[in-house]
A and B are shown apart, each in its own frame.
Chain A
Amino acid sequence: MNIDYIFYLLTALTIICATMVVVSKHPIRSVLFLVATFFCISAHYILLNAQFLALVNIVVYAGAIMVLFLFVIMFLNLNKEVERNKSILYWLGAIVSAGCIFLMLVSSVGKVALTNGNIEKENYTLGLVENIGMSLYTDYLFPMEICSVLFLVAMIGVVLLSRKENKFTTNTVSNV
């Protein structure tokens, strides 16, 4: 089977899902389309023979972060399709910030050499567990440790914030 067709099909699906995230006015549907987008991206990883990355992407983003997103949206009870009144300033801000992101993406993607090779022939193995572990713990050790320190800081921050709130409210445990 030609792997190119699968790629184009997947890419089309990804773009459709990603567009639906922005277009659909219903917040819960937006989140569900975002989950679908993550699945498509994971499928791309599998095409590149990076099963580890694909599954970590699903576990972390689709399995944990998106569940928390849904969780919060359900609590907010945004059942009605919310249409905010949009002034021109609103539009302008959106266009400028989106444009900035687009410029950034173009400048970074432009530097990547787009190889026109065949995935099946070139036999990528960079995405396998062993190779990712190797490069993370040898070549990129310092950035990775910095990242984990950042996570730790964020975690401590969250614990601190939730602690302070507890002092003001009564001593009951938040019953869901």
Chain B
Amino acid sequence: MSPIIIKLIFVSIVFGISLFVAMYSTYAERKVAAFLQDRLGPNRAGPFGLLQPLADGVKLFFKEEFIPLKADRWLFLMGPGFFMITALMTSAVIPFGPDLKIGDTVIPLQGTDLNVGLLYIFGVVSLGVYGVLIGGWASNNKFSLLGAIRAASQNISYELAMGLSIIALVMMTATLSMREIVDQQSGWHWNVLYQPLGFLIFLVCAFAETNRAPFDLPECETELVGGYHTEYSSMKLGFFLFAEYINMFISSAVIATLYFGGYHAPFIDSMDPGMLKTFLSIGVLFAKIFFFIFFFMWVRWTLPRFRYDQLMNLGWKMLIPLAVVNIIITGIVLLMKM
């Protein structure tokens, strides 16, 4: 098969998996919430309620399509689409496993190994806010606008701390390629052991960038009705909600890749290379991803939402100085090693 066809197949599989994981994340979220609140959660549609996501999807498709009279029609339609695209784009540079060898053909399990992969992720994350911003503004509703503006300011504030925490990581790894960062972490050389502070900052910023609780101020129901998606209905609302789960999946993958060794695990690294090792490695990566998705939900149903000024203080007065200190410490340690 030509490399282009192989790549196409691989990309469609990643696309399918992202959607599938996001779909069942909605189910998992409700089950986790139920577990944490000592309830049963969805259990009517299919065994253990496993068909619940399908039922929700069908419901959303058949809801009334509604566009406010004074809304900016084109931008109103563009908002959810843009949000979805940016959510799906990030997975292009994540290495899902070591090269798969079938006969003579070698299939790299990564969309593309950009030599600036880390920057690519950062770039796409920074674009993610456009969907919310455009959708919120185009709705021509004060609550939507406030939600959109909150999303923008929150994103910009936490992007800075996120970038600074990544700089400390890059100083250590001396590369921006995701594949090389993963391969440096084989065995127990996980970056989280060398960069605990950087990891903590990155984690908090990942919560803020995905608009997950306790940073879900753009859609805070108690103050803003529905925030930026107040005026949305039907599948357009579905896109906004669904893209959030895709974002969660992708950021879990990024966290696992950057700080927790990606597809590496000590007992698998010592195995002989082959099909079995490849598939076990993929399994390890997905186990890590699912743990972080669970962690996202665990935090959501445990912590209350921030107040807006607390959010800004945390971003600017805590995380950014901490990240700068982290860079300085990393620099000193690296110099001493030389």
Contact = CB atoms under 8 A, between A and B. Distances in A.
Interface of A: 28-29, 32, 35, 51-52, 55-56, 58-59, 62-64, 67-68, 70-71, 74-75, 79, 128-129, 173, 175-176
B72 to A, nearest CB: 8
A128 B145 contact: no
A62 B127 contact: yes
A28 B75 contact: yes
Nearest to B75: A28
B152 interface: yes
Interface stretch (B49-57, B117-125, B293-301): B117-125
Nearest to A57: B123
Interface residues of B, number: 31
The 5 closest A-B pairs by CB, nearest first: A63-B126, A173-B309, A55-B119, A58-B123, A59-B123
Given A51-B115, A55-B116, A176 B130 contact: no
**Chain B interface, >50% SS class:** helix
**Chain A interface, >50% SS class:** helix
Interface string B51-84: 0000000000000000000001001000000000
29 contacts: A28-B75, A29-B75, A51-B114, A51-B115, A51-B116, A52-B119, A55-B116, A55-B123, A58-B126, A59-B119, A59-B126, A62-B123, A62-B127, A63-B123, A63-B159, A64-B126, A67-B129, A67-B130, A67-B152, A67-B156, A68-B152, A70-B137, A71-B149, A71-B152, A74-B149, A173-B312, A175-B308, A176-B146, A176-B308
Contacts of A74: 133, 137, 145, 148-149
B119 A64 contact: no
Contacts of A63: 123, 126-127, 159
A92 B280 CA distance: 70
B208 interface: no
B197 to A, nearest CB: 23
B153 A176 contact: yes
B81 to A, nearest CB: 13
Contact of B133 (A70, A129, A175): A70
Contact of A129 (B115, B122, B146, B148): B115
A128 B126 contact: no
Given A58-B123, A176-B146, 15 more contacts: A28-B72, A51-B116, A58-B126, A59-B122, A62-B123, A62-B127, A64-B126, A67-B156, A71-B152, A74-B133, A74-B137, A74-B145, A79-B140, A128-B115, A176-B150
